[in-house]
Structure 1
Amino acid sequence: MQPKRIKYYLLGLFITGMILFIVLQFNSAKNIRKLISGNEQLLQELNVKNEMQKLQTNMAKTDSKVRGAVISRDTLHITGIEADIAVIRADLKEINKMVKNDSTDKLLTQLNYLVDEKNNFNMLVLDTFYSTGKMAAEKMINNQRGKRLGEAITGILHQLDTTRQTEVNRTANLIDTSGQKAQSWGSVLVLFACLTSLLAFLYITSRIHKQEQLIEALDESRQQEKKLAAVKDQFLANMSHEIRTPMNAVMGFTHLLQAQPLNERSQEYVSAIAGAGRNLLEIINDILDISKIESGMMRIEATSFSLHGILHALYTMFRPKAEEKHLQLTVTIDDQVPDLLYGDGMRLTQVLVNLTSNAIKFTSEGAVDIHVACIKAAGNIVRIVFTVRDTGIGIEPAKLDSIFDRFNQAEASTTRKYGGTGLGLTIVKQLIELQDGTITVESKPGAGSTFKVELPYTPGEFLPENGEGSYAEHDPLPLHPDVWLLVAEDNRMNQNLLRHLLTSWQLQYKVVNNGKEALQAIEKQHFDLVLMDIQMPEMDGYTAVQKIRHELHSNIPVIAMTAHAMAGERDKCLQMGMSEYISKPIQEDDLYRLIQLYTGKSATQTLPAYQHYTSENGTPHLIRMQYLQDLSKGNKAFEKNMLEQFISQLPEDLSLLKNAITSNDVAAIRATAHNLKTTVSFTGLEIHLYPILEQLEHIDENNYNAAAVTELFNTLKQLCLQAIQEAIDIIL
């Protein structure tokens, strides 16, 4: 049955049920009203009967008083006779009002006449008694006229009572009939209500059952969707790894070839290889960015950045390409636009690079203009408008709405003629929306295109130009030759590339093929740094670094080298115990700086390096000050203040966690463990405490093991107490 027809059937049943309910209620109410009316009539008849009895009693009482006064010549009996006569008349008047109708009209007339005659007779007897004497009064009493009047009144009252009794019987029958009908209709109404309730209950339970089935199907669908998403992510991760691993070697050896003396043709070939490699990496990055955004793993990380610096870098990047096509590239900024902004500068750069690249790509002659303006918003929010205008091929108006769709370009021939995946504008639009911004486009075929991007920012903080811990890209930092590195890498080409790089930097190193060999090497020899691939045979990088931290109890810096460039990979590496993360293809400048940073051995200057504190008994300290020192920029008072807060906050969090464990409050355990991660993060305790806190944060309420949780807490407590003591020692 179709859903629309079901709705109509349900509506019809509802209306029919309501009509039936109204009819039942109407009939039931009608009979109840009859029952009430009959009861009122019956009460009225009883009142009439009572009034006639009172009339008869009062008249007999008056006769008795008159006779007593005459016979005994006692005038005390006469007292109140007039009042009694007034009462009799009032009773008669009340009877007239209560029983007056067509059938009793004649009887009432006779009754009124006889009662008046009876009252007049009594008054006449009294008057005779007073004026003539006892004998005359007795004579009047004995002539039987008063007696006949009394008997006549009694007869009339009896007739009235007989007439009213018939009405009483009719009313009683009406009451019985109405009561039975009311009871019957009430029973039908109750039965109907019960039946309706039962049907409604059955219908609701059936709908609930269907809803539960739908929920189960939806849950199953979601689980399937999650599995498919995991399969997709794993596929993209594997694709990224499988492509980036050989590309690492291709790009690395291409860079080495470019540094060698080559003839003109060979240099051309090598440049072509390098360009093709960069293009391939751009395509891979576009696909991975789309995957990150769709999976909700793309994070907007706000920091202070220089807008002029980003635009200068953008101009420097695209000027050679514009000059190559004889295009005029201009970047202009309104005076009121602030330089320092707080937001995601990296994503802004990605947006502008994509739009500028497209503008230059699709423009054969003319100019590409980038203009930046400012719109004031509420509070301290400023909305920056970026306008990228070109004089290129333009876009048909009918196709403007579809250019932001994935794998879609304005013309089918665009991909063949200009290249690209058709993902660039899709990524741009989604990145802008992630930052609560908007993008619009205006274009005409042959007249160029204008893209306007509006993004909200807040004023940024001062950025040091060359402060402690900052590095200029053009200023290489020489390494000390006494650095020993351990390289765990199973790919031979990558091994050769790393051998060449490390040898050219005059570093000592040892290469192993998997995590198991890396553990054996660390047990036998001291190393300053480990370069650890993630995906290796026998023992992968994750397992190896956990054994390094928990079994060997070593704080040696470990840098993850992985071709997995998916969202969350860096966080996973750091959570597992890695010190840093670098993706393949490895950029030699990035690797060089990481080695310089984490070995802390510079031939020319001291860097904020990975610090190894040791206690008096020679055991390695847990606290790492690197992150805090990077934040402080040499401000020792700031570092001391943060450590003092750490010393006071950590025991409080531990106490809350202990109370939650004691009361078996799983929700509180999870929440407190999550908060503890924040408390310990800036002191470098992630390596030691995060694995424990992660287990506490994700304990299963259905499989709660109190003993295991208590054991985890005891381990955590010992580490935290050691960390607190270390913080106190650092402050002192």
Structure 2
Amino acid sequence: MQPKRIKYYLLGLFITGMILFVVLQFNSARNIRKLISGNEQLLQELNVKNEIQKLQTSLAKTDSKVRGAVISRDTTHITGIEVEIAIIKSDLKEINKIVKNDSTEKLLTQLNYLVDEKNSFNLLILDTFYSSGKSAAEKMINNQRGKRLGEAITSILHQLDTTRQTEVNRTTRLIDTSGQKAQSWGTVLVLFACLTSLLAFLYITSRIHRQEQLIEALDESQRQEKNLAAVKDQFLANMSHEIRTPMNAVLGFTHLLQAQPLNDKSREYVNAISGAGRNLLEIINDILDISKIESGMMRIEATSFSLRGVLHSIDTLFRAKAEEKALQLNISIQEEVPDILYGDVMRLTQVLVNLTSNAIKFTAEGEVNIYVTRTWSEDKNVRLLFTVRDTGIGIEAAQLDSIFDRFNQAEASTTRKYGGTGLGLTIVKQLIELQNGFISVESTPGKGTAFKVELPYLLGETMPENTDILCTEKDPQPIHPNIWLLVAEDNRMNQNLLRHLLSSWQLQYRVVNNGREALQALEKQVFDLVLMDIQMPEMDGYSAVTHIRREMHSNIPVIAMTAHAMEGEREKCLQMGMNDYISKPIDENTLYRMIQVYTGKFSSREMPPAAAHPAENGHSHLLNMQYLQDLSKGDKAFEKNMLQQFITQLPEDLAMLKNAIVINDPVSIRATAHNLKTTVSFTGLETHLYPILEQLEQTDENNYNADTASELFYTLKQLCLQAIQEAIDITI
């Protein structure tokens, strides 16, 4: 039976059942009415018999009193005789009223006459008794007239009683018949009601069972959907992360090539590779951002920031691109707009970068204007309106409603001509909604587009300058005095590397050795950003960031630094409360960009051209000095210092690893192997040593094998001794 037709069958069955129910109810009610009517008739007949009996009794009493008075000459017997005669007349009148019909009319006429005659005769006897004496009265009694009247009355009453008895018998039979029919119809009605209830119960239970099955199927579908969504998000995050790693290498080597002397054709090719690589990296970033938003991993992290500093960064970032297309880029901010605000500066920067990038991309000539105005303020609350207006190609009115949909651009040709994923505006809208803001768009095809973003902020407080803790190195005066970084790192070589980078960027920082010292530093001083290693003694990075978020209720941006390359490590860091993740060996451009984005207080820098490095002499070496030389920018003293630390620290780490293997301590083996990855990463030993260290890092109590660990250590030791010798040769 088709599901669409079942409702008609059910409707027909319901109507048939209702008609049958009405018929049964009608017949049952009719028989009940007959039963009630028969009972009333029976009651009436019984009342008639009772009245006839009363009349006979009254007549007999009257005769008895009259005879007794005459025979005994005692007039006390006739006391109340008039009342008795009145009662007889009343009984007779009642009989006439309830019995009178066509069949009894003649009998009632005779009865009325005879009763009147009888009463009159009794009164005549009494009158004769009073006037002529006892003998005359007895003579009247004995002449049989009174007896004949009594017999005639008794005969008529008997006939009436017989007639009424016949009627009683008929009524009784009618009552019995009606009662049986009523009982039968009632039984049928009960059976029908039971059957209907049973069918309804079976139908309802079947529907409930079906509904429960559908609910279970829906729950299972939702679970599968959630699992698939989680798998999709994990896949997107992993793929984006895995693709970004080689892309960073491609862009890095492309940057190095651009710094080399090239002919025009080669430079054209290198520039094409660089442009395509940047475009691909932007697409990957969009995919990663949308997956983070949809999986709930995108967090709003509020800090105090300078709004005019953010706008200055936007101007610096896009000025060259606008001039390249001969466009005017204008940024104006209303005087009433406060400068120091409290909110998520990174998300604001991301929104403005996306909208400004789109405006420049889709504008061939004219200008791009960014306006910031205040729409509302009360106490420390303020709402700002950011307007990004261009004179570009515009958007058709029919496309405005769907412009924020994912993978959507105004026309198919837009993607082919300008590129992109169609995710940019989707990300912008969701980031704005995460901050309880609104976005709208106005556009005229051929004349331009205006995006308006309204966001709420709190008035920020200017952070006090702290001069107690300064960089330990003798650096020039920092050019960004409002930026303070906290570095939590236990590896000495990594500490020195970060000191070198942060000092070269003229940033203020403080270095601590573990998570516990990081918490103590955060309680004493205001920092803009924390660079947090994951594995540290006393308190690791995960425990520290959990304390920062849950106990200290701080939203300070935290960037995880780890040598872990295992799948899901980035997502784990984000779930634990980190804002971002950077793997070791640290890429200086990536780190600089992260610091810039999460602090929002300084603009992009001009990267100096990389120094040309002489090629190796052809011998097979383990050490690769390229990474360290890129970081040093030709600072030989820094390179030598790092190598000397490498020569000193690597034997110490090897001794700790050997001791952990000797005492069969998997926990210490994992921690030492992880620390070794950081130690060797700066000298280009990842290719040779990471496979061995990762096997040791995955050791646990269940799969630990002492012989295997010893073999891995022996191989690792031989390679490290060779690397140390090469480092000694370089430093001599």
Cα drift, residue 343 of structure 1: 5.3
Using the TM superposition, give the Cα deviation of residue 178 of structure 1 relative to its aligned residue in structure 2, in angstroms.
0.9
Distance 1:461 1:183, change over 3 A: farther
> Matches of 1:342 and 1:555 in 2, distance apart?
24
1:427 is displaced (CA, Å) by 1.6
1:569 aligns with 2:572: yes
Shift of 1:46: 0.9
Q: CA deviation at 1:54?
A: 0.9
CA distance in 2, matches of 1:119, 1:592: 139
Partner of 2:201: 201
Give the equivalent residue in structure 1 for 2:189: 189
- Amino acid paired to 1:420: G
Distance change (3 Å), C-alpha of 1:580 and 1:386: closer
Encode CA deviations 1:127-150: one digit per residue, 9 max, x unaligned: 222222222222222222222111
Alignment partner of 2:562 out of 540, 553, 560: 560
2:492 aligns with 485
Aligned to 1:528: 513
> What aligned pairs does 1:334-349 form with structure 2 within 5 A after superposition?
344-349=344-349
**Secondary structure in 1 matching 2:410:** coil
Task: Show the counterpart of 2:425.
Answer: 425
Q: How does 1:59-78 map to 2 (within 5 A)?
A: 59-78=59-78
Change (3 A) 1:247 1:176: same
Query: Taking structure 1 as reference, are residues 51 and 296 closer, same or farther at Cα in structure 2, changes over 3 Å only?
Result: farther
Distance verdict in 2 for CA 1:479–1:374, change over 3 Å? closer
Deviation string 1:165-209 (CA, Å, 9 cap, x unpaired) is 111111111111111111111111111112112222222232233
Q: Distance in 2 between matches of 1:328 and 1:385?
A: 21
Distance of 1:382 and 1:499 partners within structure 2: 43
Answer yes or no: is the 8 Å Cα contact 2:535–2:562 preserved in 1.
Answer: no
Query: Which residue of structure 2 aligns with residue 688 of structure 1?
Result: none
Q: Secondary structure at the match of 1:235?
A: helix
What secondary structure does 1:421 align onto? coil
Query: 2: distance between equivalents of 1:237 and 1:360?
Result: 29
CA distance in 1, matches of 2:562, 2:496: 17
Distance 1:74 1:459, change over 3 A: farther
Distance between the aligned counterparts of 1:559 and 1:529, measured in 2? 13
Quote the sequence identity (%): 73
User: What is the distance in 2 between the residues matched to 1:406 and 1:26?
Assistant: 67
Q: Which amino acid is 1:528 matched to?
A: N
Residues 340-375 of structure 1, C-alpha deviation per residue, up to 9 Å, x if partnerless? 766544333322322222112111222223334555
Per-residue deviation at 1:97?
1.7
My pick for the range that moved more, 271-280 or 186-195, is 271-280
The 10-residue stretch of structure 1 (38-47 or 135-144) with the greater mean CA deviation from structure 2: 135-144
Aligned partner of 2:480: which letter? H
Q: Distance in 2 between matches of 1:209 and 1:554?
A: 49
**Shift in alpha-carbon separation, 1:473–1:221, aligned structure 2, 3 A:** farther
Letter in 2 for 1:426: T
- C-alpha distance in 2, partners of 1:460/1:503? 35
Question: Displacement of 1:376 after TM fit?
Answer: 5.5
Aligned residue in 1 for 2:289 = 289
Alignment of 1:261-300 (within 5 A): 276-300=276-300
Is 2:221 the partner of 1:218? no
Displacement of 1:558 = 8.3
User: How far 1:395 moved relative to its partner?
Assistant: 1.8
Match of 2:25 in 1: 25
Q: Secondary structure at the match of 1:110?
A: helix
SS in 1 for 2:492: strand
1:296-324 deviation digits (Å, cap 9, x = unpaired): 44344556666555445434443443344
Residues in 1 aligned to 2:440 and 2:119: alpha-carbon distance in whole angstroms: 113
Q: 2:363 aligns to what SS in structure 1? A: coil
Output the CA distance in 2 between the equivalents of 1:505 and 1:304.
Answer: 21
C-alpha change, 1:6 and 1:48, in structure 2 (3 Å) is: same
Paired position in structure 1 for 2:365: 365
Query: Shift of the alpha carbon at 1:63?
Result: 1.1
1:647 aligned residue: none
Residues 434-468 of structure 1, C-alpha deviations (whole Å, 9 max, x = no match): 4454433232221111223345x364454536479
Are residue 474 (structure 1) and residue 476 (structure 2) matched? Answer: no
CA distance in 1, matches of 2:171, 2:486: 120
8 Å contact from structure 1 (residues 241, 562) kept in 2: no
Q: Give structure 2 stretches of 5+ with no counterpart.
A: 472-477, 505-511, 516-532, 546-558, 596-732
CA distance in 2, matches of 1:66, 1:302: 125
Does the CA-based 8 Å contact 1:305-1:345 persist in structure 2?
yes
Q: Which residue number in structure 1 is paired with residue 138 of structure 2?
A: 138
Report deviation, 1:248. Answer: 4.3
SS of aligned partner of 1:413: helix
TM-score computed with the length of structure 2 as normaliser: 0.64
In 2, Cα distance between the equivalents of 1:378 and 1:183?
83
The structure-2 alpha-carbon separation of the partners of 1:12 and 1:376, relative to structure 1 and needing over 3 Å to count, comes to: farther
Q: 1:203 to 1:84 in 2, by over 3 A?
A: same
Provide the residue aligned with 2:326 in structure 1: 326
**CA distance in structure 1 between the partners assigned to 2:470 and 2:108 by the alignment:** 124
Q: d(CA) in 2 for partners of 1:449 and 1:572?
A: 38
Q: Classify 1:13/1:327 alpha carbon distance in 2 versus 1 (closer, same or farther; 3 Å).
A: same
The amino acid that maps onto 1:570 is C
Matched position secondary structure for 2:42 = helix
Q: Which amino acid aligns with 1:193?
A: A
The residue type equivalent to 2:420 in the other structure is: G
The answer on whether the counterparts of 1:529 and 1:558 sit within 8 Å (CA) in structure 2 is no
Which residue in 2 is equivalent to 1:392? 392
Does residue 16 of structure 2 align to residue 16 of structure 1? yes
Q: Please show how residues 453-464 of structure 1 align to structure 2 within 5 Å.
A: 453-455=453-455, 457=456, 459-460=458-459, 462-464=461-463
Match of 1:246 in 2: 246
The CA distance in 1 between the partners of 2:411 and 2:293, in whole Å, is 26
The separation in 2 between residues aligned to 1:592 and 1:452, in whole angstroms, is 30
* 1:327-726 equivalent positions in 2, closer than 5 A: 327-333=327-333, 344-373=344-373, 384-455=384-455, 457=456, 459-460=458-459, 462-464=461-463, 466=465, 474-475=480-481, 484-485=491-492, 528=513, 559-560=561-562, 569-573=572-576, 581-582=581-582, 586=586, 588=588
Paired amino acid for 1:474 = H
Paired AA for residue 464 in structure 1? M
Q: What's the counterpart of residue 707 of structure 1? A: none
- For 1:470 and 1:101, the matched residues in 2 are separated by 130
**Which deviations, in whole Å up to 9, do the C-alpha atoms of 1:555-602 show, x marking residues without a partner?**
99984356779995334456xxx999546895648869999xxxxxxx
The whole-number CA distance in structure 2 between the counterparts of 1:478 and 1:342 is 18
- 1:104 maps to amino acid: T
Q: Alpha-carbon deviations, 1:350-409, whole Å to 9, x = none?
A: 223222221121112222233345556999986644332211011223333333232222
SS in structure 2 at match of 1:363: coil
* 1:638 match: none
SS of the residue 1:102 aligns to: coil
What one-letter code is carried by the residue in structure 1 that aligns with 2:286?
A: D
Q: What residue number does 2:84 align with?
A: 84
Contact residue 408 and residue 422 of structure 1 kept, 8 A: yes
Matches within 5 A, 1:91-240: 91-240=91-240
Classify the secondary structure of the residue corresponding to 1:410: coil
SS of 2:443 mapped into structure 1: strand
Q: Distance in 1 between matches of 2:157 and 2:470?
A: 125
For normalisation by structure 1, the TM-score amounts to: 0.64
CA contact (8 A) 1:92 1:112 kept: yes
CA deviation after TM superposition for structure 1 residue 23, in Å = 1.4
Using a 3 Å threshold, how does the CA distance of structure 1 residues 44 and 219 change in structure 2: closer, same or farther? Answer: same
- Shift of residue 61 of structure 1? 0.8
Cα distance, 1:72–1:142 mapped onto 2, change above 3 Å: same
Q: Which amino acid aligns with 1:569?
A: K
- Contact 1:343–1:458 (CA<8 Å) still a contact in 2? yes
Give the stretch that moved more between structures: 391-400 or 272-281.
272-281
Q: Distance in 2 between matches of 1:573 and 1:465?
A: 30
Task: Give the AA of the match of 1:370.
Answer: I
Instruction: Assess, with a 3 A threshold, how the Cα gap between structure 1 residues 64 and 500 changes in structure 2: closer, same or farther.
Output: same
| Residue aligning to 2:645 | none
